[in-house]
């Protein structure tokens, strides 16, 4: 934006400008490059090496990736983790977004009392550590304590209770729902902010035309906040394919039962750091991290090229 730069700074001598840039940008660029970009690049580079037990490294090209995707010892857990991660993401998309939109829609209703109170309370879980949330739900759903079983019994659905977190068939979906419970505050807040930004004239015009609140929401407000919804979706995608804390704190590094809750984050941790069953392997760990990087990159590219480009930007 040339107009935002004043004439005085534009006329500055080169050496002086260089000195100022070094002073102002130097620390941020140095720390960011050294501890964020360089490790990413170095990790990708490391994924093309292998190390023998003595610690000596030798270049192997793409062999690590071939092992990861082709050798059954590696590919089975990898595809299992990727599949589970897709389910984890799908549950977020199908539950977190609709609930977030519904809550934001209710919160933004004109003349709603106690708005601030609801907002504060409903956002609270998002502020807590995933570890705390995971463990608290672990206790609540535990058949030992019986809180969840008791609550279901109280409404006459006692027979529905099962130790969901312990069963191979339901553990992953239960963990996904715990994560949704925690993070629904983010779509709620962002969509709520977008709904408040819609100019009143548009809503008033619709009301004069005789539309009810319900139709105003679905036909006018919702299409206008679509860009925010797709932003929330891509944020969720990145967070989900990088998730680790919840599974690790509830299920441990082995992501039981029988790897039913293993996602890429826990698979990466086990590969890189090791656990009871295997020694840590930094070069294979780097290969897993590199694959995760490309999966996230693919998601970002799909968002930028297909979603972002098609959305018409409304200038308010």
Partner 1 sequence: MTTEQRARSLGVHVVLIAYSLLAVGPILLVVMNSFKMRNAIFGSPLAPPDAATFSLIGYEKVFRSSHILTYYSNSLIVTLVSMALVLLFGAMAAWALTEYRFRGSTALALFLSIGIMVPIRLGSVAILNMMRSAGLNDTLTALILVYVAQGLPMSIFILSEFIQQIPKDLRDAARCDGVPETRIFFEVVAPLLRPAIATVAVFTIVPIWNDLWFPLILTSSDSTHTVTLGVQQFLGQYITDWNSVLAALSMAILPVVIIYVILSRQLIAGLTSGAVK
Site for partner 1, residues 43 to 82, rule: CB under 8 A? 43, 46
Per CB under 8 A, contacts with partner 1 among 257-316 are: 272-273, 282, 285-286, 289-290, 292-293, 296-297, 300
Left, alpha or beta for 156 (phi > 0: left; psi -120 to 50: alpha)? left
d(CA 222, CA 195): 8
HEC profile of 215-271: HHHHHHHHHHCHHHHHHHHHHHHHHHCCCCHHHHHHHCCCCCCCCCCCCHHHHHHHH
C-beta of 190: minimal distance to partner 1 in Å? 6
Maximum CA extent, the chain: 79
Among 73, 114, 277, 315, binds partner 1 (CB under 8 A): 114
CB closer to partner 1, 129 vs 169 = 129
C-beta of 247: minimal distance to partner 1 in Å? 11
Per CB under 8 A, contacts with partner 1 among 116-135 are: 116, 118-125, 127-132, 135
Among 60, 198, 202, 238, binds partner 1 (CB under 8 A): 238
Left, alpha or beta for 187 (phi > 0: left; psi -120 to 50: alpha)? alpha
Per CB under 8 A, contacts with partner 1 among 132-171 are: 132, 135-137, 139-140, 145-147, 150
Per CB under 8 A, contacts with partner 1 among 3-22 are: 4-6, 8-10, 12, 17, 20-21
C-beta of 28: minimal distance to partner 1 in Å? 4
CB closer to partner 1, 80 vs 293 = 293
Kindly give, in sequence order, each residue whose CB lies less than 8 Å from that of residue 103, ignoring residues fewer than 6 positions away: 122, 184, 188, 192
Per CB under 8 A, contacts with partner 1 among 83-112 are: 103, 106-107, 109, 112
C-beta of 72: minimal distance to partner 1 in Å? 24
């Amino acid at each position: 934006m040339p107009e935002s730069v004043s004439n005085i700074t534009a006329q500055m001598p080169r050496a002086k400008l260089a000195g100022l840039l070094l002073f102002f940008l130097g620390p941020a660029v140095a720390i960011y490059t050294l501890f964020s970009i360089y490790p990413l690049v170095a990790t990708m580079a490391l994924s093309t090496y292998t190390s023998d037990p003595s610690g000596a490294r030798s270049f192997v090209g793409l062999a690590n990736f071939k092992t990861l995707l082709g050798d059954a010892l590696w590919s089975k857990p990898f595809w299992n983790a990727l599949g589970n991660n897709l389910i984890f993401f799908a549950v977020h998309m199908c539950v977190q977004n609709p609930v977030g939109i519904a809550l934001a829609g209710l919160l933004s209703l004109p003349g709603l009392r106690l708005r601030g109170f609801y907002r504060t309370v409903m956002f609270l879980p998002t502020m807590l550590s995933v570890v705390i949330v995971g463990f608290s739900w672990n206790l609540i759903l535990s058949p030992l304590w019986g809180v969840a079983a008791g609550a279901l019994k109280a409404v006459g659905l006692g027979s529905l209770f099962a130790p969901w977190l312990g069963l191979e068939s339901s553990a992953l979906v239960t963990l996904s729902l715990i994560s949704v419970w925690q993070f629904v505050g983010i779509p709620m807040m962002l969509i709520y902010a977008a709904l408040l930004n819609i100019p009143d004239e548009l809503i008033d015009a619709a009301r004069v035309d005789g539309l009810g609140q319900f139709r105003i929401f679905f036909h006018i407000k919702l299409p206008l906040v679509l860009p925010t919804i797709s932003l929330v979706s891509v944020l969720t995608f990145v967070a989900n394919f990088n998730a680790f804390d919840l599974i690790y704190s509830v299920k441990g590094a082995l992501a039981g039962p029988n790897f039913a809750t293993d996602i890429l984050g826990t698979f990466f941790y086990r590969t890189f750091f090791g656990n009871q069953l295997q020694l840590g392997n930094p070069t294979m760990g780097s290969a897993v991290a590199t694959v995760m990087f490309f999966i996230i990159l693919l998601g970002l590219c799909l968002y930028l090229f297909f979603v972002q480009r098609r959305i018409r930007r409304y200038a308010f």
